[in-house]
Amino acid sequence: MEAFIVSVSSIATAEMGDRTQLLALVLAARYRKPWPIVAGVLCATLANHGIAGLIGSLLGGQLRPALLDAAVGVSMLAMALWTLKPDSLDREAVASSNAGAFVATLIAFFVAEIGDKTQIATLALAAAYPNLLAVIGGTTCGMLIANVPVIFLGNAFAHRLPLKSIHYTASALFALVGVIFVVRAVRQWG
């Protein structure tokens, strides 16, 4: 249960103001078909985070527990710093797509998530927690929690969010998780 809760809360908070959330906003404005966009986000996130989770799980199985905790802790601290840098999105690239709402969302979200902080966080969480399904389920739910309201409410919702505060909160959450893992690693070495 801890893996799921940490995954949901980390990703939902980190996704606020992220480029994939901006992408969801652009797709919602372009297609005005929320359900195919939500389905595209769900499928793309499951695929992308599934791959990241499998890699993280394999890496986690190869490392000693103390080294793994240290690596996860340091990566979460790096995520904390990365979260403070707001993302941007090339709206012209998205707006020029002629594909249907579902296909456009599926492709755009999958590609946008490659190397994104939420994908890297998924990899790190999967390395740290043995329950891969809980991590992937949690990160996917976190993505949906952050993106579904934007898809349905569009610009009116997005402009009312205190993004700076959300970025600081996400950064603090990643830092807290990072410190917990680093402390765990230090205790195992000691």
Is the pLDDT higher at 99 or at 23?
23
Q: Note the pLDDT of residue 34.
A: 92
How far apart CA 77 and CA 123 sit, in angstroms, is 14
Domain tally, the chain: 1
Instruction: Check residue 96 and report its DSSP letter.
Output: T
CB of 135 within 8 A of CB of 8? no
Least confident span in 18-32, 50-64, 173-187: 18-32
Structural domain span for residue 115 = 2-189
Question: What is the reported pLDDT for 155?
Answer: 54
pLDDT at 116 over 60: yes
pLDDT attached to residue 96? 44
Report pTM.
0.73
pLDDT band at 47 (very low <50, low <70, confident <90, very high): very high
Mean pLDDT across 21-46? 89
Q: What is the pLDDT of residues 144-180, one digit of tens each?
A: 999 999 899 875 555 566 667 766 877 787 788 889 8
CA angle 23, 83, 79 (to 5 degrees): 115
Average pLDDT, the chain: 84
DSSP secondary structure string for all residues of 20-89 = HHHHHHHHHHHH--HHHHHHHHHHHHHHHHHHHHHHHHHHHHHS-HHHHHHHHHHHHHHHHHHHTS----
Question: Is the pLDDT reported for residue 11 higher than 90?
Answer: yes
Q: What is the pLDDT of residue 190?
A: 72
Q: Is the pLDDT of residue 91 over 60?
A: no
> Of 37-41, 55-59, 81-85, 148-152, which range is least confident?
81-85
- Reading the block at residue 156, the tokens are 């009116």
